Structure 1
Amino acid sequence: MKNVNLLLILSLMLVFSCEVERLETDLLPANKQANQSNNNANHDNDHGDDEGACETLFAKASDDESSCFIDDGFNRWGWTIGPLDGGTYFFDLYAGAGGCDTDKGTLVGLLKIEYDELTETVTVEYDAYSGYTLSETHLYVGSEPYPVKPNGQPTVAPGQYPYKHNLDAADEDSFTITDVMGDIYVIAHGVICEDDDDGGQGGGGVG
């Protein structure tokens, strides 16, 4: 009888152990999925939490002088401007204009380009409107519409642009590029933020 009771107890313990193991296995993917969702949410919020009300900006010319990245097969918004020959140009800076739709964006500044063909020099100036400040600028100036990655493929990723500045709540920024010849293309990118010290005079928010 003792042997029968012992076998019964061992059987019950084995069944209970299997059920616990199966329960833990069933719950593990859900826990992983929940953790992944939390990580993704934190990652998505990094830009907003760290920088406040900040948004990506790009310079835009008229439709005849600029081309939307999306129309050229890229999967992000923004514009390449050109070709430009020697002269002085002024272009609008738009923030948050998803799909290259300026009606969805906010006009946040002005871009000035001075191209002196005699001295082979291009000067590019970012000027943020009142209520906004610049935290980053990335600039491409070249003979082709887009910069090219080391593998030879064109790119619109701002990190691949050859000229860049990290800024501390700047109202303006400028670049001077030398040894420039022939017609040029320009992509002017930046990150612009609401200026808290300005009392929110920039139109009630970026984008």
Structure 2
Amino acid sequence: MKKLLWIFLAGSIFSCQVQETELPLKEEEPFAFEFEEDDDSSRKRPDGDGGPTVIPTGVKPCAVTTYDLFAGQKNDVGSVTIANDADYLYVTYFTTKSFNKLHLWFGHSLSDMPKNPAGIPVIGHFFLKADAKGKNQYTFKVSFADLEKRKIKCGNKLIFVAHAEVARESAFGGPTQIPGSNRWAYYMTHTLSCCDDGGGDDNHPDPGPGLQVAYAKGGWVFVADGCNAVNPECLPGLGIANTRWGWAINVTGTIGAFYDIWASADGNNTANGTKIGRLTVEYTTWPINGIPTAIGSITYQLNDGWVMQSLNLYTGDLRPASSNPEDYGKNVSFPSGSFTYSHNINFVNYDEANDGVWFIAHAIVRPVNP
């Protein structure tokens, strides 16, 4: 109830502004802002209420991610909502107090963020900025045409650093400390959804006579967040599909775990499908020659009476950006059919986004006579 009330207040009482912004091609002079000294508390995730989610009037986004806005390291003073529709990216700052200047940067990697030799963000070099003095709400609106000039397209997972001046304090959106900085500063992530352009259904093509699509069931769906016909369990969404069913597995620590494999679970609804096997994931990260490396194994095992014709595996540090199995990286064919396959996990895992590692296990399967 509290969050719903906040959403209502944000849309009906507080002053707001939506500013369509062209991304500049060159940086401006740096802006100096005094960051507070670091201490142990800055390395801990602060506690907030996860909102409110604030969407500009008239906008119907297909992907939304909301983070708390923290001032003075741990004081929840509002939120930052990142959303997109088919044409624009929207980043909305909201506070229960009032803003002064705002600074926003986003990109593919934190290594591209303007920073000084100590790793501290140089917010004056952030390519989006605004004077929002006295306002409670402000939205940066960026077209996909401008995003493409920076080699950003739908399906990409982006990193955002949103800074605000709130009541003479420095504030950042998101609870995750920027690695390598000796001052507190947070970042966020959002995957740009490839929204329905009117074509609607982008589900899997027919695999052929007698064949079925199968996935190991993780805790994330390919479609966007929400509770609807293609997300009946209300799972968090990657926003990389409109209707295509399929799940991703997200692991944030050392693990040995099992995941059910489902065939033909259209609409991400297991009631529509058949449980046909089990995926086993054993994983940890270990320094090899000083480089953090994900190691382990992932085994696809089908029950008696089933074989697979092909298998596509995604294993990586980065959140998946495509629902197309051909993009997953590991593609194996079994012309005569196979009921099992094991793959060794081995990839560099800097975990730059601080979201663990990701797995997708897709197969084309068929039943066989006992």
Q: Do Structure 1 and Structure 2 share a fold, with TM-score over 0.5?
A: yes
Give the fraction of aligned pairs with identical amino acids, expressed as a percent.
26
Q: Distance in 2 between matches of 1:179 and 1:46?
A: 30
What does residue 212 of structure 2 align with? 55
What SS does structure 1 have at the residue aligned with 2:245?
coil
Q: Is the 8 A contact 2:283 2:345 kept in 1?
A: no
- 1:113-132, aligned counterparts within 5 Å? 113-118=281-286, 120-132=294-306
Shift of 1:45: 7.3
What does residue 191 of structure 1 align with? 364
State which of 178, 188, 202 in structure 1 corresponds to 2:346.
178
Looking at secondary structure, tell me which structure has more helix per residue. 1
Gaps of 5+ in 1: 1-43, 147-153, 199-207
Shift of 1:192: 1.0
Alignment length (residue pairs) = 139
Structure 1's 100 and 85: CA in aligned 2 closer, same or farther, altered over 3 A? same
What SS does structure 2 have at the residue aligned with 1:130?
coil
Q: Is the 8 A contact 1:56 1:192 kept in 2?
A: yes
Looking at secondary structure, tell me which structure has more strand per residue. 2
State which of 238, 257, 260 in structure 2 corresponds to 1:89.
257
Q: Distance in 2 between matches of 1:169 and 1:122?
A: 25
Shift of 1:178: 1.3
Structure 1's 186 and 89: CA in aligned 2 closer, same or farther, altered over 3 A? same
Q: Is the 8 A contact 1:124 1:175 kept in 2?
A: yes
Counterpart AA for 1:188: A
Counterpart AA for 1:129: N
What is the Cα-based RMSD across aligned positions, in Å?
1.9
Q: Which has the larger radius of gyration?
A: 1
Q: Distance in 2 between matches of 1:92 and 1:189?
A: 12
Q: Is the 8 A contact 2:207 2:364 kept in 1?
A: no
Counterpart AA for 1:93: I
Q: Distance in 1 between matches of 2:260 and 2:341?
A: 15
Shift of 1:170: 0.6
With 169-178 and 103-112 compared, the bigger mean Cα shift is at 169-178
Counterpart AA for 1:47: G
Q: Distance in 2 between matches of 1:85 and 1:110?
A: 20
Gaps of 5+ in 2: 1-204, 225-236, 287-292
Structure 1's 45 and 124: CA in aligned 2 closer, same or farther, altered over 3 A? closer
Q: Distance in 2 between matches of 1:125 and 1:180?
A: 20
With 115-124 and 171-180 compared, the bigger mean Cα shift is at 115-124
Q: Distance in 2 between matches of 1:45 and 1:81?
A: 24
Shift of 1:169: 1.3
Moved over 3 A (4+): none
State which of 221, 243, 249 in structure 2 corresponds to 1:68.
221
Q: Distance in 2 between matches of 1:190 and 1:172?
A: 11
Shift of 1:58: 0.6
What SS does structure 1 have at the residue aligned with 2:208?
helix
Q: Distance in 2 between matches of 1:116 and 1:161?
A: 20
1:144-199: CA deviation from partner (whole Å, max 9, x where unpaired): 221xxxxxxx2110011101110131110111121343421111100111113x1x
Return the structure number with greater relative CO, CA threshold 8 A, min gap 6: 1
1:72-94: CA deviation from partner (whole Å, max 9, x where unpaired): 33130001111332121100000
Shift of 1:116: 3.0
